[in-house]
Structure 1
Amino acid sequence: MKSIIISYRQEYSFRERALLWLLDNVVSVHARVYTRRPVWGLLREDMLQYPTGTLGHELGLFLTRESLQPVDRIERHDAFHILLDFSTSLEDEAAMQFFLVANGKISPFTLATAAFTMLVMPDKWGLFIQAFRRGRKALSIANWNFLHLLDEPFADVKAVIFHQPVRNERLLRKIPQYAKTASAVECLS
């Protein structure tokens, strides 16, 4: 498993450094717990080979900007960042967990992270509530296979999540909520 690299800059507060340390330790445990989850086997350089404008290419750009490589079995976490408009700041990482909980991604790690950050970041509760409300309104992405969406237009994938009209039947057939619909395009028109 590739390890996550977290930089502990001096300007971080004690709280931020403690959260980064916890994140660093939880990521490897998370990957070991989800051993059945398939590894994408892609580096950011591989993702940049997808056509411009696709989810895969946008993910490659994000990873390049952040100087990151995908972490095995946790690759979709990076897709959450770009599709849901959350940066990699600690506040946004925490807020994203609230979005995901409200959106139906109920896992021990998501729940624990949300609960822990709620306790140690009471000054960010407004941000967390806002993210929770956004997650509730969005189409549930908890069971999506993002690996199969890498070749789809980024804007269309994001539009589906936020209930915007999409006329991409190939994409909609890959989305669990629309896959069984006889004419998926009609569902969002």
Structure 2
Amino acid sequence: MKDIIISYREEHSFRERALLWLLDNVVTVHAMVYRRRPVWGLLREDMLRYPTGTLGHELGRFLTQESLQPVDRIERHDAFHILLDFSTSLDDEAAMQFFLVANGKISPFTLATAAFTMLVMPDKWGLFIQAFRRGRRARSIANWDFLSLLDEPFADVKAAIFQQPVSNERLLSKIRPHAKDRALPVQL
């Protein structure tokens, strides 16, 4: 497994440094628990070779901008950031967990992270509620195969998530099998 690099800058508060330390350790445990999940086997440089405007290329740009490499078995987490409009700030990382829980990604790690950050970041509850509501309104992405979507237009994938019209039949055929993931109305 590739090393995870989390910067513990001094300008972070004690609470932020503690959460970053916890995140660093949880990511390692998460990768071990999901060791049977397929590894994408791609570096950010590989993703940048996807055509401009595709999810793969945008993901490569994001990883380059953040000076990150994909972490084995957790690669789709980075796709969540760019598709759902969450930065890598601690507040956004926490808010993204609330989006994902509301969106149907019910895993021990997502639930635990949401619960823990709710307890230690009560000043961010408004942000968390807003993210939760956005997650409820979006199409469930909990079981999407993001590796198969790397060659799809980024704008189309994002539009599909947020229930906007998409005429890309190839993309729609990739996400249709997951349309029944949640009881919310799904319009393809």
Normalising by structure 2, we get a TM-score of 0.94
8 A Cα contact 1:86 1:92, kept in partner = yes
Paired residue for 1:41? 41
SS in 2 for 1:8: coil
**2: distance between equivalents of 1:126 and 1:188?**
29
**2: distance between equivalents of 1:119 and 1:36?**
32
**What is the Cα deviation at residue 177 of structure 1?**
4.5
Percent identical residues: 87
Equivalences for residues 55-134 of structure 1 within 5 A: 55-134=55-134
Amino acid at match of 1:5: I
Paired residue for 2:25? 25
**2: distance between equivalents of 1:2 and 1:31?**
10
1:107-132 Cα deviation digits (max 9, x unpaired): 00000000000000000000000000
Judged with a 3 Å threshold, the aligned counterparts in structure 2 of structure 1 residues 179 and 131 are, in CA distance, closer, same or farther, namely closer
SS in 2 for 1:175: helix
**What is the Cα deviation at residue 188 of structure 1?**
5.2
**2: distance between equivalents of 1:5 and 1:62?**
15
Judged with a 3 Å threshold, the aligned counterparts in structure 2 of structure 1 residues 149 and 120 are, in CA distance, closer, same or farther, namely same
**What is the Cα deviation at residue 36 of structure 1?**
1.3
Paired residue for 1:184? none
8 A Cα contact 1:105 1:142, kept in partner = yes
1:156 maps onto 2:144 in alignment: no
Stretches of 4+ aligned residues off by more than 2 angstroms: 176-180
Judged with a 3 Å threshold, the aligned counterparts in structure 2 of structure 1 residues 47 and 114 are, in CA distance, closer, same or farther, namely same
Give structure 2 stretches of 5+ with no counterpart: 181-185
1:20-78 Cα deviation digits (max 9, x unpaired): 00000000100000011100000000000000000000000000000000000000000
Aligned pairs, how many?
Answer: 183
Paired residue for 2:9? 9
Judged with a 3 Å threshold, the aligned counterparts in structure 2 of structure 1 residues 83 and 28 are, in CA distance, closer, same or farther, namely same
**1: distance between equivalents of 2:161 and 2:143?**
12
8 A Cα contact 1:172 1:178, kept in partner = no
8 A Cα contact 1:144 1:176, kept in partner = no
8 A Cα contact 2:144 2:178, kept in partner = no
**What is the Cα deviation at residue 3 of structure 1?**
1.3
8 A Cα contact 1:166 1:188, kept in partner = no
**2: distance between equivalents of 1:163 and 1:42?**
29
